[in-house]
Amino acid sequence: MGITKFNSNSDSIRKSINDKLKGTFLEYLGMKVDKVSEGHIEASMPFSLKVMRPEGKVLDGGIILSMIESIAGIGSMTLLDNEKYEVRGMQVNANHVRGLTKGKAIAIADIIHKGRLTHIWNVNVKSEENKLISTGRVVNIVLSKK
């Protein structure tokens, strides 16, 4: 990743990201990146048995937090030269406002601060009906690779 020219190759960036998700926790959850542009990223995850709360019927809040942190981290990675820098989540907070019981969770992330050492993202998770499920903020730290 580490791409900064999004206009002509957003689809190839999205495909590259989804290829890197293979074999990971995010692939297990069914998450995939649907759209990517500079400072903006969208991903979706289907509602299924593996993402439900133990008693069933509703998407687990911890899974939503994983989605929020992961999509913001991936967003930060697209803004950096990954040969020189890596990203780690420093802080994640979220408010759950509604449960999801069917369809897909759609995460929409926008960067609100792109500093040299930190990135701050707002992430809204919505239903396919565009109803807000959760809203979160993620602070990522940018680290030099040694």
Query: 1 lies in a domain?
Result: no
DSSP structure string for 43-108: EEEE--GGGB-TTSSSB-HHHHHHHHHHHHHHHHHHTS-TTTEEEEEEEEEEEE-S---SSEEEEE
Domain residues for the domain of 126 are 10-144
Query: 14 lies in a domain?
Result: yes
Contact assessment for residue 54 and residue 119, using Cβ atoms and an 8 Å cutoff: no
For residue 9, the model assigns a pLDDT of 66
- pLDDT tens profile 72-116: 999 999 999 989 999 999 999 999 999 999 999 999 999 999 999
- The number of folded domains in the chain is 1
Query: 4 lies in a domain?
Result: no
> Which position has the higher pLDDT, 71 or 82?
71
